[in-house]
Amino acid sequence: MAAAAPLSSRLARAGAQAALLLALVLLACQALAAPEGGARRLAKHKQGAVADPSGGAATAAAPGAEVSAAGCCAQLPAGFSSTRPVVVISTQGAPLSSIPKPQIETGVKAKIPASVCTCRSPDGQDFGAPIQFSERGSHSEDWDQVRSYSVDLSPSHSFLGMPKGSSWALYGWQNDTGGLHDWFGFELYRWTGNYAPRTQYCELFLTDGLQPLRYPSDDYLGLYLAMEHLGQGKHRVDIKKDSAADSGANSSYILDNEHGKTKQGLVELPPLPFSKIQYMIEYPSKPSQDQQGYILGYLRQFEDVLFGPSFADPAAGWRQLANQTNALDYFLFEELVKSNNNGYRGSQRLTKDAGGPLLFGPPWDTNDGFGQCCGFPVEGYQNGGQSNGTSGGSAISPQGWSFTICEQQERCVQDPMGGVALWYRRMWQDPAFRAAAAQRFAQLRGGVWTDAAIGQAVTSIAATIHDALLRTFQRWPVDLLNPYAPPQPTPGETAGVMQREAQIQATVGKLIQWTTTRLAWMADQFASIALGGAGGSTLQLPPSVVAAGASTATASSAAAPAAVAATGNAPAAAPASGPGNPSPVSSFASGPGTVALLG
The secondary structure element, H or E, covering residue 432 is helix 431-447
pLDDT for 562 equals: 40
pLDDT > 50? residue 303:
yes
State mean pLDDT over 431-439: 93
CA distance 25 to 483: 52
pLDDT for 479 equals: 54
pLDDT for 91 equals: 97
Per-residue pLDDT tens over the stretch 13-33: 444 454 444 444 343 434 333
Question: Residue 165: beta bridge partners?
Answer: 157
**DSSP string across 474-527:** HHSHHHHH-TTSPP-PPPPHHHHHHHHHHHHHHHHHHHHHHHHHHHHHHHHHHH
State mean pLDDT over 486-509: 70
Task: Please tell me which residue, 158 or 481, carries the higher pLDDT value.
Answer: 158
Per-residue pLDDT tens over the stretch 169-210: 999 876 677 789 999 999 999 999 999 999 999 999 999 999
pLDDT for 199 equals: 96
Mean pLDDT of the chain: 76
pLDDT > 70? residue 554:
no
pLDDT for 236 equals: 94
Query: For the ranges 65-79, 257-271, 568-582, which has the lowest average pLDDT?
Result: 568-582
pLDDT for 64 equals: 38
Query: For the ranges 229-243, 512-526, 550-564, which has the lowest average pLDDT?
Result: 550-564
Task: Please tell me which residue, 595 or 110, carries the higher pLDDT value.
Answer: 110
pLDDT for 71 equals: 85
pLDDT for 398 equals: 86
What confidence category does residue 108 fall into, taking pLDDT thresholds of 50, 70 and 90? low
pLDDT for 263 equals: 74
Q: What is the DSSP letter of 230?
A: P
pLDDT for 206 equals: 97
pLDDT > 70? residue 328:
yes
pLDDT for 59 equals: 33
pLDDT for 41 equals: 30
State mean pLDDT over 574-591: 34
What confidence category does residue 42 fall into, taking pLDDT thresholds of 50, 70 and 90? very low
Q: Is 156 helix (H, G, I), strand (E, B) or coil?
A: strand
Q: Which amino acid is at 117?
A: C
CA distance 147 to 197: 20
* Segments making up each domain of the chain, as ranges: 43-171+198-228, 248-452+512-596
State mean pLDDT over 316-324: 97
Per-residue pLDDT tens over the stretch 378-402: 544 455 555 555 555 556 788 888 8
CA distance 179 to 156: 27
pLDDT for 507 equals: 86
Best CA proximity match to 294, nearest among 341, 248, 242: 248
What confidence category does residue 66 fall into, taking pLDDT thresholds of 50, 70 and 90? very low
pLDDT for 132 equals: 96
pLDDT > 80? residue 523:
yes
pLDDT > 70? residue 590:
no
> pTM of this prediction?
0.79
Per-residue pLDDT tens over the stretch 207-247: 999 999 999 989 999 999 999 999 999 999 999 998 878 89
Helix extents (H) in 356-492: 421-428, 431-447, 451-464, 466-475, 477-481
pLDDT > 80? residue 40:
no
pLDDT for 89 equals: 98
pLDDT for 54 equals: 31
CA distance 363 to 359: 11
Task: Please tell me which residue, 64 or 498, carries the higher pLDDT value.
Answer: 498
CA distance 202 to 160: 8
State mean pLDDT over 461-485: 77
pLDDT > 90? residue 585:
no
| Percent of the chain topping pLDDT 90 | 49
pLDDT > 90? residue 481:
no
What confidence category does residue 86 fall into, taking pLDDT thresholds of 50, 70 and 90? very high
pLDDT > 50? residue 587:
no
pLDDT for 20 equals: 42
CA distance 586 to 141: 36
Query: For the ranges 87-96, 302-311, 547-556, which has the lowest average pLDDT?
Result: 547-556
The answer to whether 283 and 265 are in contact (CB under 8 A) is no
pLDDT > 50? residue 39:
no
